[in-house]
C-alpha cells in the first residue's frame, strides 16, 4: 500500500506548531487592521501573463520558478508566486480605485508557490502576509507601511532584525542610470544568462548572490548618484518620517529586490540569525505596475512578510510566544448518564466562550485523565453516578491537584469565575 508524503519542498502545518504560525499571522495583521487596511483574498492561480507582465519576464520568478500549466480549456495559468500583482488585478477588476477614496488600502494572507531548491527558510510553498496601498504617491504612505511592519515584528518580541532602505528612482532618472550600469556590466566577465539579464534588466545583476559576480561589481555606478531632484526629495522625506517615528534603518545602495515593478522606495527586513536566507520580508513602491497590467496610472506601495521566515526568526532569538491554551476544561464522564450530562456541560461551556473538550470513545477513568493531561486543560470536570445523584460534579485543578464538588447547575459560572 502506497503511503503518500507532502510534495518535495513543501510542509504541513500541524498542532501544536501551527498555533505559532496563526499567532504570527495575527500579529502582522493587527497593526494593518488598525490603520484602515481591509482584507482581500484572491485565487491561488492567475493568468500566466499577469505575472509575466507584472513581475517581469527577466526575473528568476518568471523564467525559472513559476508553476505554469495549461488547463483542459486551453487557458495558460500559473500558481501565484507573489501577492501584489493578484491584489492589484482584483482591485482594478472591482473598480475599487473609482470609489473616490484613495489610497485603497488592502491586506492579505495566503500561500504562494515557487519552484526553488528547497532549503531551510526557502520552500516551494510558503506563507505570507502582505499589505498594499493603491492609488497615492506620498512618502508618508511608504513610511506608514515600513512602520507597521516594524511594529508587527516588535509586538512579537523580535529585536535582531534590520531594515534596509534604498531608492530605485523613477522613469525619469532610472533610464540614465540603467545606461551607465549596462556600460559598466558589459565590460565584465559574465556567463551567458547574466549577459542576457544585463540587456533586459541590469539592476537584477546587482542582486546576484554569487561571489564571482559580486567581486566584479566593486566600482559599479551607484543609483543614488543618478537620482533626479524629485526622487531625492521623496526619499529624504521617507527617511525623515521613519527617523521621527523612531524606526531605525540602514541605507543600502545595492538593494534592488527581485521584481521588475519597483520604483523609488524599496526596502527589506533581514534577520541575521537566519544564515543565507536572511530576508524575512520586504517591499517597495510600484508606480507603474497598474499600467503594465492594463490599468490606469495608480502609484502604489506595499510589502509582504514571510510567516515561515518570521517563525524561524523567533526561534533564532529563542522567543516563545505566549499562546492561549487550546483547551481550558476537559470533561471526564464515568457511565452513560454522566456522558449525557457532561456533554451538555461542555456545550454550555463552549457557548459561554470557554475552550472545552470531552473524553470521547468511552475510556475508563485512567485513560480519560491521561487525555485530560495531554490536552493542557487547567480544569477537569469528573462525574459518576453517585455525583449525579447528589447533583454535583467533581472539579479538579490540574495544576494544584486539588479537587472539590461543585453543584451541577453552577459549574459553568464557577469555572468562568476561576478562569477570570
The tens digit of pLDDT for each residue in 236-285 reads 999 999 999 999 999 988 787 656 677 899 999 999 888 767 899 999 99
Look at residue 127 and tell me whether its pLDDT is greater than 80.
Answer: yes
The tens digit of pLDDT for each residue in 29-83 reads 999 999 999 999 999 999 999 988 877 665 666 767 889 999 999 999 999 999 9
114 is in an annotated binding site: yes
Q: What is the pLDDT of residue 65?
A: 86
The tens digit of pLDDT for each residue in 164-209 reads 999 988 888 888 888 888 888 888 888 888 888 888 778 778 877 7
182 is in an annotated binding site: no
Q: What is the pLDDT of residue 191?
A: 84
How far apart CA 123 and CA 141 sit, in angstroms, is: 31
Cell numbers describing residue 162: 534590520
Look at residue 228 and tell me whether its pLDDT is greater than 80.
Answer: yes
Most confident of 8-12, 194-198, 323-327: 8-12
pTM of the model: 0.88
Order of strands, edge to edge, in the sheet holding 279-285?
A: 38-39, 104-113, 125-134, 300-306, 279-285, 263-271, 161-167, 250-251
Look at residue 221 and tell me whether its pLDDT is greater than 90.
Answer: no
Helix or strand (DSSP H, E) at 231: helix 229-244
DSSP tally for the chain: helices H, then strands E: 16, 16
How far apart CA 107 and CA 51 sit, in angstroms, is: 19
- Angle between the 192-200 and 174-185 helix axes, to the nearest 10 degrees? 160
Q: What is the pLDDT of residue 117?
A: 81
Q: Which residue bears the cell 520568478?
A: 61
151 is in an annotated binding site: no
**250-251 vs 45-47, strand pairing mode:** unpaired
Mean pLDDT for the stretch of residues 126-131: 96
Q: What is the pLDDT of residue 21?
A: 95
Buried b / exposed e over 334-361, threshold 16 CB at 10 Å, is: beeebbebbeebbeebeeeebbbbbbee
Q: Shortest CA distance to 242 belongs to which of 313, 189, 165?
A: 165
Mean pLDDT for the stretch of residues 293-320: 94
261 is in an annotated binding site: yes
Among positive and negative, which fits the CA dihedral 246, 251, 256, 262?
Answer: positive
pLDDT band at 22 (very low <50, low <70, confident <90, very high): very high
Exposed, middle or buried by CB within 10 Å (0-12, 13-18, 19+), for 157? middle
Superfamily of domain 17-173+227-316: Bira Bifunctional Protein; Domain 2 (3.30.930.10)
Fold of 329-419: Rossmann fold (3.40.50)
Task: DSSP letter for 192, please.
Answer: H
Task: DSSP letter for 195, please.
Answer: H
* Domain ranges, ordered by start, for the chain: 17-173+227-316, 329-419
Mean pLDDT for the stretch of residues 320-337: 92
132 is in an annotated binding site: yes
Q: Which residue bears the cell 485543578?
A: 397
Look at residue 95 and tell me whether its pLDDT is greater than 90.
Answer: yes
82 is in an annotated binding site: yes
Helix (H, G, I), strand (E, B) or coil at 295: coil
pLDDT band at 90 (very low <50, low <70, confident <90, very high): very high
Strand partners, 162: 270
Q: What is the mean pLDDT of the chain?
A: 91
How far apart CA 208 and CA 188 sit, in angstroms, is: 14
128 is in an annotated binding site: yes
Using alpha carbons only, what angle is made at residue 23 by residues 19 and 26, rounded to the nearest 5 degrees?
A: 140
Amino acid at each position: 500500500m502506497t503511503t503518500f508524503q507532502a510534495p518535495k519542498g513543501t510542509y504541513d502545518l500541524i498542532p501544536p506548531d501551527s498555533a505559532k504560525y496563526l499567532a504570527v499571522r495575527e500579529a502582522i495583521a493587527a497593526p494593518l487592521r488598525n490603520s484602515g487596511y481591509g482584507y482581500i483574498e484572491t485565487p491561488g492561480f492567475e493568468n500566466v501573463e499577469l505575472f509575466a507582465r507584472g513581475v517581469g519576464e527577466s526575473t528568476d520568478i518568471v523564467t525559472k520558478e513559476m508553476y505554469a500549466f495549461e488547463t483542459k480549456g486551453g487557458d495558460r495559468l500559473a500558481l501565484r508566486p507573489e501577492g501584489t500583482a493578484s491584489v492589484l488585478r482584483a482591485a482594478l477588476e472591482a473598480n475599487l480605485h473609482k470609489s473616490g477614496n484613495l489610497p485603497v488600502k488592502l491586506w492579505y494572507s495566503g500561500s504562494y508557490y515557487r519552484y526553488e531548491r528547497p532549503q531551510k527558510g526557502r520552500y516551494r510553498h510558503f506563507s505570507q502576509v502582505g499589505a498594499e496601498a493603491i492609488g497615492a504617491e506620498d512618502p508618508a504612505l511608504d513610511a506608514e507601511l515600513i512602520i507597521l511592519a516594524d511594529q508587527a515584528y516588535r509586538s512579537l518580541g523580535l529585536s535582531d532584525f534590520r531594515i534596509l532602505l534604498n531608492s530605485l528612482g523613477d522613469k525619469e532618472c532610472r533610464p540614465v542610470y540603467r545606461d551607465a550600469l549596462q556600460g559598466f556590466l558589459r565590460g565584465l566577465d559574465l556567463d551567458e544568462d547574466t549577459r542576457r539579464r544585463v540587456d533586459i534588466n541590469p539592476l537584477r545583476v546587482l542582486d546576484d548572490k554569487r561571489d564571482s559576480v559580486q567581486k566584479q561589481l566593486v566600482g559599479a555606478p551607484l543609483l543614488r548618484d543618478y537620482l533626479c531632484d524629485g526622487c531625492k526629495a521623496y526619499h529624504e522625506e521617507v527617511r525623515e518620517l521613519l527617523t521621527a517615528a523612531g524606526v531605525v534603518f540602514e541605507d543600502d545602495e545595492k538593494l534592488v529586490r527581485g521584481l521588475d515593478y519597483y520604483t523609488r522606495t524599496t526596502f527589506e527586513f533581514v534577520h541575521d540569525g537566519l544564515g543565507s536566507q536572511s530576508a524575512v520580508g520586504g517591499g517597495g513602491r510600484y508606480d507603474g505596475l497598474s499600467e503594465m497590467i492594463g490599468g490606469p496610472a495608480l502609484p502604489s506601495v506595499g510589502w509582504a512578510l514571510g510567516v515561515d521566515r518570521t517563525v524561524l526568526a523567533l526561534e533564532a532569538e529563542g522567543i516563545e510566544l505566549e499562546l492561549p491554551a487550546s483547551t481550558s476544561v476537559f470533561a471526564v464522564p464515568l457511565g452513560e448518564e454522566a456522558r449525557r450530562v457532561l456533554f451538555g456541560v461542555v456545550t454550555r461551556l463552549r457557548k459561554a466562550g470557554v475552550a472545552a473538550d470531552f473524553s470521547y470513545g468511552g475510556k475508563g477513568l485512567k485513560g480519560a485523565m491521561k487525555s485530560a493531561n495531554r490536552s493542557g486543560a487547567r480544569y477537569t470536570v469528573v462525574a459518576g453516578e453517585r455525583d449525579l445523584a447528589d447533583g454535583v460534579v467533581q472539579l479538579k485543578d490540574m495544576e494544584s491537584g486539588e479537587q472539590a464538588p461543585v453543584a451541577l447547575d453552577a459549574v459553568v459560572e464557577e469555572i468562568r469565575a476561576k478562569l477570570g
